[in-house]
Amino acid sequence: MGARLELENVSHRYGGDAPALEDLSLAVEPGELVALLGPSGCGKTTALKIIAGLLRPSSGDVRVGGRSVVGTAPERREAAMVFQKPLLFPHMSVARNVGFGLRMRKAPRKESESKVHEALRRVRMEGFADRAPEELSGGQQQRVALARALVTDPRLLLLDEPFSALDASLREEMRGLVLRLQREGGHTTVFVTHDQEEAVVLADRIALVFDGRLQMYEEPEAFYDRPATREVARFFGATNFIEGRAGNGSVRTPLGNLRLASAAPPGDVTLTIRPEAVRLEAGENSFDALITSAAYLGTQVHYGLETSGKSLRVALPPHVRLAVGNEVTARLPAESLWALRA
């Protein structure tokens, strides 16, 4: 079973420059899968290396199962890491690669053999034990890397963009595999990714990091329904922002007085609504608008709307075809509007 992982005020500075991580605090519950999400260079790998013990933080504490591990060597942390590249030993068979950690621990041979077999079975690679890594596809190599990580039954499983080099359909299959392994093994897992969709599919909770700072740590739905800031909303694909002033149960905006189902903080606010939540119909919170652009994206069509000097984006199913230059009535459903402090 996985252990509880806590990071408390962890900061890291490589040189004299801006810190790569600043005051990162988060707790991962035993058996939970947390996605560490953020754009390239935001500090995700730095955080994972600190958890693994490959890097000592400039300040702050890391606790596993309630005990500080900052001074503990990587091999004594019972954490297993999988990297973007499989990093298998080329001169060893698949089985010997998977059994490497057990040999290091001087586990009895019979026991090792059965654990290696079991780990290969779990990643559906039991027929490949005697192959050399170079005789495997990229996806198969990454399965072996996962088996090698799982074989010692780690308390923490740390995955650093493990599928980013694979093609889209294989990536989807591997995500399914990680979810199954997670459910079966109950490992506490931290999964680093810059791919918002991957984080949403996999994670119990997402820790979103920009510039080394934690922006929001919540379950995936919250990033769509209740983003903490405009930047968070934008990272998750929200493109509509409407300035307004909240009071008396509604928000006064250039589009009229809009009612929200959720509470808005009093004073100046920015309302956000996702393109797919905008409706083309009359009713509460509706207004007339002009269609100014259309972009066909395969599964959706994105339309640009303009009204009262404001531009909005609407995403509709591809069978709805509207012409640029037409007037429509658009509605912003109260339950889909969310108010950010301006």
To the nearest whole angstrom, how small is the minimum distance from the Cβ of residue 179 to ligand ATP? 22
- For residue 40, the minimal CB distance to ligand ATP (Å) is 3
Residue showing tokens 């801006």: 18
Tell the smallest beta-carbon distance from residue 213 to ligand ATP (Å): 12
In the chain, DSSP finds a helix count (H) and a strand count (E) of 8, 19
Cβ proximity to ligand ATP: between 199 and 305 the closer is: 199
d(CA 94, CA 148) in angstroms, rounded, equals 9
Do 166 and 138 contact (CB within 8 A), yes or no?
yes
Please say which residue, 35 or 314, places its beta carbon nearer to ligand ATP. 35
Is the CB of residue 130 less than 8 Å from the CB of residue 117? no
In the bound state with ligand ATP, the residue whose beta carbon lies nearer, of 41 and 254, is: 41
- 225, 226, 259, 265, 308 from 251: Cα distances, Å: 18, 17, 6, 10, 16
Q: Is 38 in the site for ligand ATP (CB under 6 A)?
A: yes
- The nearer residue to ligand ATP, 40 or 169, going by C-beta atoms, is 40
Q: Which stretch binds ligand ATP (CB under 6 A): 12-20, 134-142, 286-294, 296-304?
A: 12-20
Interface with ligand ATP, residue 89, by CB under 6 A: no
Site map for ligand ATP, 40-79, x if CB under 6 A? xxxxxxx---------------------------------
Closest CA to 163 of 141, 148, 185: 141
Q: From the CB of 289, what's the least distance to ligand ATP, in Å?
A: 39
Query: 139 near 124, Cβ under 8 Å?
Result: no
Shortest gap between Cβ of 21 and ligand ATP (angstroms)?
A: 7
- Is residue 213 near ligand ATP by the rule CB under 6 A? no
Minimum gap (Å) between residue 44 Cβ and ligand ATP: 4
Does residue 43 contact residue 21 with C-beta atoms inside 8 Å? Answer: yes
Contact 11, 21 (CB under 8 A): yes
Q: Which amino acid is at 50?
A: I
Residue ranges binding ligand ATP (CB under 6 A):
14-15, 20, 38, 40-46, 194
